[in-house]
Structure 1
Amino acid sequence: MSISTMTKTLFGVDQPAIIADSQSFLQECSKLGFKTANISHINKLPKHSIVFSFSNDAAKRVFELANNTESKKCVFCATQVFDPTLDSALYSLDLLLKSDFEQALIAQRRVLSRLNSNDSFAMTGNGANAQIEIFSHAQPYALISEDIEENFIQSVAEFFEVHYAHMNPKTPSPFSFHGTLEISGILTVLRKPNPTLPSGLKIALRWLSDLISENGATLSVTNNVITSLKTNNDEHVKLLDLAAGHRGLKLTEFAIGVNENIATSINYKTNSQLNEGIRGVHLAIGDGSSGYHIDFLSPEVNVTPTYR
């Protein structure tokens, strides 16, 4: 593994320390040559760090430490809301170290400029046949080089995507999406247990994730509502509706991924936050609280303005 690209872009000449609440993960990172520390054993963050939290308590502690740290540059990986296992964390670290942060920040600026200059786009490539309209009140979320010049603590996902979110159903959606995408993988997030959800959903979604990673799927959307998710001839939209909570099949996110370097290393069976940054697009349903937040990843899709 090499950290040269990350070091140059984010941390200058310094090597970041890896901070976590999993001793087994820290031991593996030490073998790779990293300086490490346990979250519970420090009173402030190192000046430069990569943090993996394996529990909600650890994630809370990270931001307490950040508040106590005057000078900091920190990449934060919330492992606990995806898959808090050693294998998944090491996979995420591997993708992170293979990523070109400089290229991703430049690409985000380019995507942001395109989104701010146009309001209608077509999606092509990888079997996509879809359109999106961006409304005038929409505010894209992006990370550019100016955002990391001074102190920061940023989720790793923010480095690799530009996205629009519609988490509050009482507000108008920032976009209108129609069409079909070929899906290579999904990600699922439930931030804390919800006893009102049907039992067995976690197992069912794990099965669906494995199925899509092996066979692919076709996602159909009409007026921001998922109408179909098919693998071969099997329909899975009822499972999605059960899992997504009170928002049901209504889209809560549209994102453009910019991470080109992970394409040959990605494993869609791993529920890792790093997967969603792959170059292409992804859509999501659910809020992660009343139900699962589910991302549908469609790599190698191009988003092109349609001039009217």
Structure 2
Amino acid sequence: MLPTNIISTLFGHEELSIIADSEYFLRECSLLGFNTANIFELEKLPKNSIVFSFSNDAAKMTFDLAKNTKSKKSVFCATQVFEPTVDAALYSLKLLLSSNFEHALCTQRSVLNMLNSHDSFFLSGNDADAQVSIFPHAQAYALLAEDVSYDFVQSVAEFFEVHYAHMHPEAPCPFSFTGTLKIEGILTVLRKPNPLLPEGLKVSLKWLSDRISEEGALLSIKDNTITSLTIKNEEHVKLLDLAAGPRGLKLREFAIGVNEAIASNIDYKINSQMNEGISGVHLAIGDGSSGYHIDFLSPSVSVSPTH
């Protein structure tokens, strides 16, 4: 069954193609009834597309083709920096097709209005006990309906979260977070191998991810610094510190997820970009280059103004 929601919300019931650099993945998508094409056989993007890149070359090609395409609407899924397997991509596609894009975009607007109208918030639900302050210089990143009314190439993650990012360590952080969260899953990204990082981190982080998805974890933060990550009272904060690189345990991101529709289908063992949009909040450390970027997902958490 083709996805009526994404077609109507983003593409106006027009024809949709799935583009990728994996023939196996494209065959599976064809069986689902989609038009498909290998990205390396194109001279420009189709008018409406969902792109899955399994390699950095394919990701680069996506944006090169976009420059040569006058009219395009494209949702971009950077599979290669998460888990570049066909199974993971098919899982991501399943979540994408089950998502309510119209509701997510509307919810982003509501969340953005709330964040712009207050500066102090408390978190509740799923045993959350935390507070966050947003500073006057802060700029929230959000995607609104008008942003996708005309031509666009947007990362799939942008459809499902409103977030603040602390990009440059020397600049002031746009938020201050203190408290504890129950963590249901993590995501890990390292854009390219870094010989300065300790060996074996990928295996260790996969082990940690599996443990958290099975047993949950408790994350503690004080003044934007992670102080503890425990699974059944076992401490794992040293692994995080090693993996995150020079920025260590300092928070890099605070985000509010708005994708309610994927809750019943989410699998936290899969390192999929779609997971981070789950309705709730997530925090992140690391920049993904000098060290791993690690997202900590806490679903079913609400953010409300303190006053």
Interval of TM-score (by shorter of Structure 1 and Structure 2): over 0.9
Post-superposition shift, 1:14?
Answer: 1.1
Which SS does the other structure have where 2:194 is aligned? coil
Tell me the alpha carbon deviations over residues 122-151 of structure 1, each in whole angstroms, 9 at most, x when there is no partner.
000001000000000000000000100110
In structure 1, the residue matched to 2:279 is 279
Which residue is equivalent to 1:115?
A: 115
The letter for the 2-side match of 1:82 is F
Deviations 1:105-135 (A, max 9, x none): 0000000000000000000000100000000
Shift of residue 167 of structure 1?
A: 1.8
C-alpha distance in structure 2 between counterparts of 1:98 and 1:15, whole Å:
18
Counterpart amino acid of residue 51 in structure 1: V
Shift of 1:79: 0.1
Q: Which amino acid aligns with 1:253?
A: E
CA contact (8 A) 2:11 2:48 kept: yes
2:155 maps to a residue whose letter is S
Structure 2 distance, partners of 1:251, 1:76, is 26
Amino acid at match of 1:263: A
State the AA in 1 paired with 2:91.
Y
Aligned to 1:305: 305
Give the superposition deviation at 1:16: 1.1
Q: What secondary structure does 1:178 align onto? A: strand
Match of 2:68 in 1: 68
TM-score (normalizing by structure 1):
0.99
1:186 aligns to what? 186
SS of the equivalent of 1:229 reads: strand
- Structure 2 match to 1:16: 16
Q: Which residue of 1 aligns with 2:231?
A: 231
Whole-angstrom distance in 2 between the partners of 1:260 and 1:74: 22
Consecutive unaligned residues in structure 2, runs of 5 or more:
none
Aligned to 1:262: 262
Mapped partners of 1:220, 1:13: distance in 2: 45
Gaps in structure 1 of 5+ consecutive residues: none
Aligned structure 1 segments of 4 or more residues deviating by more than 2 angstroms:
none
Q: Does 1:85 align with 2:85?
A: yes
| Equivalent residues, number | 307
CA distance in 1, matches of 2:284, 2:144: 23
Instruction: Give 1:233 deviation, angstroms.
Output: 1.0
Task: Quote the Cα distance in structure 2 between the aligned partners of 1:203 and 1:50.
Answer: 30
- Tell me the secondary structure at the aligned position of residue 7 of structure 2: helix
Alignment of 1:23-38 (within 5 A): 23-38=23-38
- TM-superposed deviation, 1:98: 0.1
- The alpha carbon displacement at 1:15 in A equals 2.9
- Could you tell me how far apart the structure 1 residues matched to 2:215 and 2:13 are? 44
- Contact 1:2–1:98 under 8 Å retained in 2: no
Aligned residue for 2:101? 101
- Partner in structure 2 of residue 163 of structure 1: 163
- Equivalent position amino acid for 1:139 in 2: Q
Instruction: Give the RMSD, CA atoms, in angstroms.
Output: 0.5
TM-score by length of 2: 1.00
Letter in 2 for 1:285: I
